[in-house]
Amino acid sequence: MNATQEPASGPALVWFRDDLRLSDQPALLAAVDSGRPVCCVFVLDESSEGIRPLGGASRWWLHQSLRSLADDLERAGSGLVLRRGPAADVIAELVGETGATAIHWNRRYGEAERAVDERIKERCRGEGLEAHSHNASLLFEPWEVSTKSGSPYSVFTPFWRACREQRPPSEPLPAVRRIDGWDQRVPSEDLDSWRLQPTTPDWAGGLRETWEPGERGAARRLRDMVDGLPGYAEGRDRPDQSATSRLSPHLRWGEIGPRQVWHTMMAADDSEAASGFLRELCWREFAYHVLFHHPRLSTENLQRKFDAFPWPPLDEDALRAWQQGRTGYPLVDAGMRELWHSGYMHNRVRMVTASFLTKNLLIDWRIGEAWFWDTLVDADPANNAFNWQWVAGSGADASPYFRVFNPETQRSKFDPDDRYVASWVPDLGTDDYPAPLVDLKESREAALAAYQQVRG
């Protein structure tokens, strides 16, 4: 960074990350309120140590979301500078190029991301620049909720109770409508040159027809959810109904913040239904709480005794059948095909497909987590690994090891008329549909025998 710049003359940098919105956007609002001109930037960082590369569906989403953010910023009076590279170096270069005197960002909670932020903060301190971090993506930050003895929660229900007993999450901040944008041009890369979208083959048709990435799409989903709130409690477990919000990718990229969701729901007429919905939203908070305290969540068993789990050698054919939705179990296949087509899968079906992979096929949960990471539009650093470990039994407040979801029982319970299955598995009942890959009873018993070895 160039310490010879006149301190007061430079802009405030706003570094966008998982917070691609203009409303309830503390970093942006603080920069605007500081009275300095504002230079908005997004850095595609695929090379800092420990940063996990984005999956394919997330890359697609990010492309659309950045386009939408750039349009919204332009309407408000600012450009969006796009750069690629190790974030700490890129931000340092930008400070040098613009003479920025302050940097604002919203906090992230992964270990590698925090290390990058810390490096930048240290540099700023050394050079007399202001570095301000804010909370945009959680209701309660991981260090704000703890047990009476001061330790992190490892069980959800007391965590949820503690969240409710805390002061309510603060009100969302007003949307930024006018930005005094930094008018001296700095080079920006072309979004298309980042190749976040597939070209040939173009597998994103299903994503395009299903989603509207960006802040407007997120607000629309929230409005629809308020209208659908009365049906949530009963319908949320039913993949054949559209009872859930589908806010997850919007929350993942911060096109909407949880404070906005919380307060909108609290203002809704049906407080009981709202509370049921907010409980689910707090699973997201809990996953981040766990990620913060167990940074290797996507690679290490939370319960270390599971390190001794006797995973057999990987059966590549079985894995491929699961990925392609050709296991011969219609609910599993419907979920995996929905995922491939739309980048989404209903929560109940995620649990069933994950249980089938880890327990009926005895394939390591990390392999399933990686597939979801690549294919989900909501692939989330906390929620994905947290839930995989929950299903596998190795995680926090996890499903007990002996709980093996039976995909046929789940199908008759949660998709009683086969409407969901029929919409994704049109070949069911034809000669093209595969025979069952494994016997449910035998594979369940094999799983239980393997799990017995790590009980203790």
Ligand X SMILES: Cc1cc2nc3c(=O)[nH]c(=O)nc-3n(C[C@H](O)[C@H](O)[C@H](O)COP(=O)(O)OP(=O)(O)OC[C@H]3O[C@@H](n4cnc5c(N)ncnc54)[C@H](O)[C@@H]3O)c2cc1C
Distance CA 120, CA 226 (A): 40
Residue 109 binds ligand X (CB under 6 A): no
* Number of residues near ligand X (by CB under 6 A): 27
Whether 390 is catalytic is no
Q: Is 102 exposed, middle or buried (0-12, 13-18, 19+ CB in 10 A)?
A: buried
Tell me which H or E stretch contains 319: helix 316-323
Catalytic residue among 388, 390, 406, 424: 388
User: Using CB under 6 A, which residues numbered 378 to 417 contact ligand X?
Assistant: 378-380, 383-384, 387-388, 391
Q: In a 3-state reduction of DSSP, which class is residue 132?
A: strand
Residue 244 binds ligand X (CB under 6 A): yes
Encoding tokens for residue 332?
Answer: 């599993």
Q: Among residues 38 and 376, whose Cβ is nearest to ligand X?
A: 376
Distances from the Cα of 94 to the Cα of 6, 40, 231, 438, angstroms: 15, 11, 49, 56
Q: In a 3-state reduction of DSSP, which class is residue 102?
A: strand
Q: Among residues 182 and 365, whose Cβ is nearest to ligand X?
A: 365
Per CB under 6 A, the list member of 21, 36, 246, 326 interacting with ligand X is: 246
DSSP state of 18: S
Q: Is 380 exposed, middle or buried (0-12, 13-18, 19+ CB in 10 A)?
A: buried
Give yes or no for a contact between 53 and 25, defined as CB atoms under 8 angstroms apart. Answer: no
Residue 241 binds ligand X (CB under 6 A): no
Catalytic residue among 122, 272, 280, 442: 280
Distance CA 384, CA 344 (A): 12
Residue 358 binds ligand X (CB under 6 A): no
Q: Report the b/e string of 121-154 with b at 16+ CB within 10 A.
A: bebbeeeebebbbbbbbbbbebeebeeeeeebbb
Residue 347 binds ligand X (CB under 6 A): yes
Per CB under 6 A, the list member of 22, 82, 163, 247 interacting with ligand X is: 247
Cis peptide before 201, with omega less than 30 degrees from 0?
A: yes
Whether 388 is catalytic is yes
Residue 350 binds ligand X (CB under 6 A): yes
Q: Least distance from C-beta 61 to ligand X, angstroms?
A: 12
Catalytic residue among 211, 253, 365, 371: 365
- Per-residue contact track with ligand X, 58 to 87, x per CB under 6 A? ------------------------------
Q: In a 3-state reduction of DSSP, which class is residue 43?
A: strand
Which residue matches tokens 């405030």?
Answer: 12
Residue 360 binds ligand X (CB under 6 A): no
Q: Among residues 12 and 336, whose Cβ is nearest to ligand X?
A: 336
Q: Least distance from C-beta 366 to ligand X, angstroms?
A: 12
Stretch that binds ligand X, among 67-75, 161-169, 277-285, 318-326 (CB under 6 A): 277-285
Whether 203 is catalytic is no
Distances from the Cα of 281 to the Cα of 243, 276, 308, angstroms: 15, 9, 33
Whether 347 is catalytic is yes
Encoding tokens for residue 440?
Answer: 């449910």
Residues 6+ apart with CB under 8 A from 394: 301, 302, 303, 306, 309, 365
Q: Among residues 65 and 248, whose Cβ is nearest to ligand X?
A: 248
Stretch that binds ligand X, among 54-62, 208-216, 313-321, 375-383 (CB under 6 A): 375-383
Residue 377 binds ligand X (CB under 6 A): no
User: Using CB under 6 A, which residues numbered 201 to 240 contact ligand X?
Assistant: 236
Whether 283 is catalytic is yes
Single-letter code of the amino acid located at 344? Y
Residue 301 binds ligand X (CB under 6 A): no
Q: Among residues 15 and 306, whose Cβ is nearest to ligand X?
A: 306
Q: Which stretches of the chain bind ligand X, using CB under 6 A?
A: 236, 244-248, 251-252, 280-281, 283-284, 287, 347, 350-351, 354, 372, 376, 378-380, 383-384, 387-388, 391
Catalytically annotated residues: 280, 283, 311, 347, 365, 388
